[in-house]
Amino acid sequence: MRGWSRTARAIEGVSGFYGDAGQAPFLDGLRVLVNVLPLTPQTEDILNAGLFARLAQGAYVINVARGQHLVEEDLLAAVQSGQVAGATLDVYRTEPLPAEHPFWQESRITLTPHISALTLREDSIAQIAGKIRALRAGQPIAGVVDVQRGY
């Protein structure tokens, strides 16, 4: 399976699914799928017909990660067939979503304007200032993107 972790940490009472072998048991019968994956070559187009077919009949899909995760035609077909009851999408392959896009005509798909998280001004300023102070002091900075991994 593309994009699945090769390691796992045990948490009491929580089931873990990972690696290539973990995809099917994770998806089989799942009623709600929320995608927050980073966009990498391994996760592009991951939300597709094959994945939707593994979900429980009438499942709900939420994508707040990246538009390139979703094969749009596959979602439309899954919604129109009833395999997927509906979806909420905050990201799209083309932003803003063109007025003629079929998502606008599908009442079972809720569209939001790429605002899955609000940026809180004071918190953001404090975070940026803290990173500048750490950089000046020669300390490591948290949350640095690894360009090789894509996130």
Who wins on pLDDT, 63 or 17?
Answer: 63
Contact between 49 and 74 under an 8 Å Cβ cutoff? The reply is: yes
Kindly state the average pLDDT of the residues 77-82. 98
- Per the annotation, the verdict on 66 as an active-site residue is yes
Range of the domain at 135: 118-151
Q: How many domains does the chain have?
A: 2
pLDDT at 72: 98
Query: Which of 114, 121, 136, 149 is labelled catalytic?
Result: 114
**Residue 133 Cα distances to 9, 121, 136, 143, angstroms:** 33, 18, 5, 15
Whether 29 is covered by a domain: the verdict is yes
pLDDT for residue 139 is more than 90: yes
Mean pLDDT, to the nearest integer, of 37-57? 95
Q: 4 lies in a domain?
A: no
Q: What is this structure's pTM?
A: 0.81
Cβ distance 40 to 66 under 8 Å?
A: no
Q: Would you say residue 5 has pLDDT above 80? A: no
Contact 85, 108 (CB under 8 A): yes
- Work out the pLDDT band at 4, boundaries 50, 70, 90: very low
Average pLDDT over residues 31-59: 96
Q: What is the CATH number of the domain that holds 30?
A: 3.40.50.720
Residues 125, 113 share a domain: no
Percent of the chain with pLDDT over 90: 74
Among residues 66, 108, 121, 133, which one is catalytic? 66
Mean pLDDT, to the nearest integer, of 112-121?
87
Residue 8's pLDDT is 53
Rounded-to-integer distance, Cα 116 and Cα 100, Å? 23
Judge whether 114 counts as a catalytic residue.
yes
143 vs 82, higher pLDDT? 82
Q: Are residues 60 and 110 in the same domain?
A: yes
Tokens matching residue 114: 């790429």
Query: Do residue 105 and residue 145 come from a single domain?
Result: no
The region, left, alpha or beta by phi > 0 then psi within -120 to 50, assigned to residue 97 is: beta
The strand ranges marked E within the chain are: 32-35, 59-63, 84-89, 109-111
